[in-house]
Chains A and B, each alone.
Chain A
Amino acid sequence: MAEEQNEFLGFFLDEALDVLSVWEKSCLELEKSGSSEAKEELYRSAHNLKSGSGAVGLSSMNELVHKVEDLIAKILAGHLQKTPAIIKVFLTTHSLLLIWIERLKAGLAFDGDLEVKEIYHELLRIQSSEASSADPTSSPLASTDFAAGSSPADLLLQSIGSPRTPADQKIELKSEQDLSFLHAQAEAKVSTPSAKSQESIRVAASKLDQLIQLIGELSTQQAIVWHGRQNGQVQSPGCDNAIQLIQKIAKDLQGLALSLRLQPLQSLFQRLERTACDLARTQEKKIEVVIRGEHVEVDRSVIERISDAMNHVIRNAVDHGIETPSERQHSKKRETPTLSIEAVQETNGVLISISDDGRGLNSERIQEKAIERGIIRPDAKLSQAEINRLIFHAGLSTAEKLTDISGRGVGMDVVKNSVETIGGTIQVSSQAQVGTSFAISLPATLSIIDSLIIGVEGNRYAVPVQDVAEIVNIENSRIEAVAGLGTILSLRKQLIPIEPLRAHLPPKIAAASHRSIDLRASVAGGSIQPALIVRKGETTLGFEVDVILGQQPVTVRRLPHTLSQIPGYTGGTILGDGDPCIILNLSALLSRHFEKISKSPDESRSNSQDSSSEIAEEEQPRSEHHCLIFEVYGQELAAPLLSIKEVMKDLPCSPMVGAARHLLGSIEVRGELLPVYDLSTLLGLPAHPEYDHATDLVLEEESAAFAIRVSKVLAVSDLKTLRSPIPGKQATIIPGMRGYLGTGYYEGRPVPLLDLQKCLRLWKDEAVLQSNLPLEPASLLETP
């Protein structure tokens, strides 16, 4: 029986979502009009959920819905009148069930026991208030009757007596929890992409008929061609005709098949309306939500991936955009604010606009904040549109005070990201005191994407064009291959690290290739070495590829589980010549790349206070560093002058017994023994243990001094440094670029700027990791 039940769980979960949407709709309708149809629909949805959950063995859900159904039945029978509290409990139950179902769909256990108890609580409260208003004398009896139900929660409630918390407070709490649930769920979805129940969609029978008809036509034409071939008449006009028709039918089939996944926006809009109303209610604001174009159809997966972002826009509009009733009265605006959600079909997709007639964006405040956070320069002159666009900048939140609802640090940049990930765009326009409007344009489908076909080690891959910011020929561009610091491309004054894409692809695939394509494209005037520049948020990375073969739309096919586990693989497609081809997600590879870096051992210590890195970070946006420029075996390097305490020359270095190769020995400075490190080995350059006229730079870390031996000091100079390839904290943790802070130009030559303390720390961490290397004996540097 258990297996039987599981078999239907998928059915139930898919269907439950539809039922829940009816639940919500009828609930809102009931709140508005109280019509008997709404009551019946609500009853039926609760009833269906109850029997359905029971049938698949979800007994605790069954029990909860049963209790709610009882309440609805009373309203249906006219024994009870709807009250705001009752509507609220219906809606709360709805949200809870929605999360519950979504979690089950994602293959997770439901952990909202507390919320379930809250609902039981609320039901009990309604029950007892109803009993007391109907017949005051029998009230204790009535509530005991209800509480005598089998649920443990009931018994618990019975033992603690009547609830004390006001209902409003609970709702506020809930909305917060709602979101944390959703986040958890979203994460879970990412981590287990295909381990959930099979999804199913509903399709109009007429569409299926059309599909079958087209397939029928296709086989007819195919038979004509086959016949022609049998008779050696493939060249005949009849066959030509048939081949042309097959092409047309295939195109029609494609369009029709794609349309099967289309779904009206209605359910999404309904959820958004609900969000807006709920939020307005908790904030004691009035609101009128106007919905237009809910019948416009969009690919189901687009809807799924966009709904969180839309929700966020709505929350922002209600929370920040719409004024309180008194504020509106003060500015002589219509008492009830309007929030309109509208969809319009466009040639290549759908345009969704969300507009409110609230107070509009506060340009001054936004500018102030942006200056405060160093996003724009204080003297920058921005157009209104540019100011508006700042709200999409990471980390800029203009709320005067953080509220529970939308001041959670995740801002419009997250919204923008999720819209752009699926190839959409978002724009904002606003006028003070008149309102704000967001225009979100979405692609109609995710199944066909415009792609670049690239070649790497004899294999072809497809890369969605939207992922690539630009393509550069690094053969001609200036590449600064600084020893031990990786390859850096200087592109329009920005330094971009270049990674060979092949390093991110599984090597076996390359070995398994049976047909290798000649990928070295040569053009008159020399060979081409293309790199794809990928930007994600603040980070930029160039992926070096062997060749770019072309650009074409590809049909995305889902990969089997085993393949989709490979990082960066998002799908597969069949190319024009019939060969399969993997579709790569470069921005995922980029994040993975930087994640790997940030997980390096340095991370755990990055919060330790150390003066030089602080200076470096502060000075990052500025263009000048006061630096000491020195040389280690022909390699010019620089370090912030402030980090260096002293420069000592020609001090005898007494070797230490059994020391690691990075540790040259110790020098005596004013009666104190300092360990001396060899910078070239610290940097991963070839070791040069003999220094002719050695110079030691004395540095200090956590009040323990140490020395670093270099060949010679060249100069002290103000270096004009370019921004490091990865701004902010990540600058210091690029692998192969130990302690790299940026690149400056000294007499026209590029010089990497280093954080020497960090170099040493990185090395020490590595030594600890490898542990077979002996640590320096005198441990003068041991942190307390």
Chain B
Amino acid sequence: MFSPQTRVLVVDDMNMFRAMVRQSLTSLDFKRISEANDGTSAFTALNKAFEENDPFQLIISDWNMPKMKGIDLLKKVRAESWGKKIPFIMLTAEAERANIIEAMQAGVDNYIIKPFTIDAMKLKLTQTYDKLNKPQAKAS
């Protein structure tokens, strides 16, 4: 599993969803959770964290946000040298299920359909971890 020290960035324009994700993560023992409310500020935070030598090791982002959408954030992150391998989980509503394909092409690691339960979040995290086991082990 991800360690409690894994640095997570939660990106959503709805405070409530950030709180839901944060609570799920806290219940899974994550200790270092940061939040951003749109793609642009998320990207700034990611960049800054990298420059400060304390990069994020997991991104959970909403799809539909003002300024920069989740998909654009994903593309931008993957275009950076530091962002190629950060596990990226997309939060999306039922109606945007079709978007998943675009996201997968852009290199998303997993997705969660809103609304979700803590159990679903746990499952998705485990899945993601299993999938990325080796690179993640290298990173930590």
Contacts and interface: CB of A to CB of B under 8 A. Distances in A.
Nearest to A37: B66
Contacts of A14: 15
Interface centre among B16, B65, B116, B117 (most CB of A within 10 A): B16
A56 interface: yes
Interface string A9-49: 00110110001000000000000000000000100100110
A7 B16 CA distance: 10
B66 A55 contact: no
B64 A54 contact: no
A11 B20 CA distance: 10
B16 A4 contact: no
B132 interface: no
Given A4-B117, A4-B118, A55-B114, A41 B66 contact: yes
A52 interface: yes
Interface in B67-121: 93, 95, 114-118
A72 to B, nearest CB: 12
B123 interface: no
A745 to B, nearest CB: 68
Nearest to B18: A11
Contacts of A69: 95
Given A41-B66, A44-B66, A47-B64, A52 B117 contact: no
Contact of A50 (B13, B17, B19, B93): B93
A51 interface: yes
A8 B20 contact: yes
A275 B51 CA distance: 50
Q: Give chain A's interface secondary structure class.
A: helix
Interface in A40-94: 41, 44, 47-48, 50-52, 54-56, 69
A512 interface: no
Interface string B41-81: 00000000000000000000000111000000000000000
Interface residues of B, number: 18
Contact of A8 (B19, B64, B95): B19
A1 interface: yes
Given A8-B19, A44-B64, A54 B115 contact: yes
B1 interface: no
Interface centre among B14, B95, B116, B117 (most CB of A within 10 A): B14
A8 B117 contact: no
A52 B114 CA distance: 9
A44 B116 CA distance: 19
Contacts of B20: 8, 55
A8 B16 contact: yes
B118 A55 contact: no
A385 to B, nearest CB: 48
Interface residues of A, number: 20
Nearest to A5: B115
Contacts of A19: 14
A46 to B, nearest CB: 11
B16 A15 contact: yes
A11 B21 CA distance: 13
Contact of A51 (B15, B19, B93, B118): B93
A4 B116 CA distance: 11
Nearest to B66: A44
A51 B117 contact: no
B16 A12 contact: yes
A55 B64 contact: no
A11 B17 CA distance: 9
Nearest to A7: B23
Contacts of B117: 1, 4
Interface in B1-43: 13-17, 19-20, 23
A55 B24 CA distance: 14
A52 B16 contact: yes
Contacts of B13: 44, 48
Interface string A650-677: 0000000000000000000000000000
A52 B93 contact: no
B19 A11 contact: yes
A54 B93 CA distance: 10
Contact of A11 (B16, B65, B115, B118): B16
B66 A51 contact: no
Nearest to A18: B15
Given A4-B117, A55-B114, A48 B14 contact: yes
B14 to A, nearest CB: 5
Contacts of A8: 16, 19-20
Contacts of A54: 114-115
A515 B20 CA distance: 50
Nearest to B118: A4
5 contacts: A4-B118, A15-B14, A15-B15, A52-B17, A54-B114
Shortest Cβ-Cβ A-B pairs, 10 listed: A55-B115, A11-B16, A12-B16, A51-B93, A51-B114, A15-B15, A54-B115, A11-B19, A48-B14, A15-B16
Given A1-B117, A54-B115, 16 more contacts: A4-B117, A7-B23, A15-B14, A15-B15, A44-B13, A44-B66, A47-B93, A51-B17, A51-B114, A51-B115, A52-B17, A54-B114, A55-B114, A55-B116, A56-B16, A56-B115
Interface of A: 1, 4, 7-8, 11-12, 14-15, 19, 41, 44, 47-48, 50-52, 54-56, 69
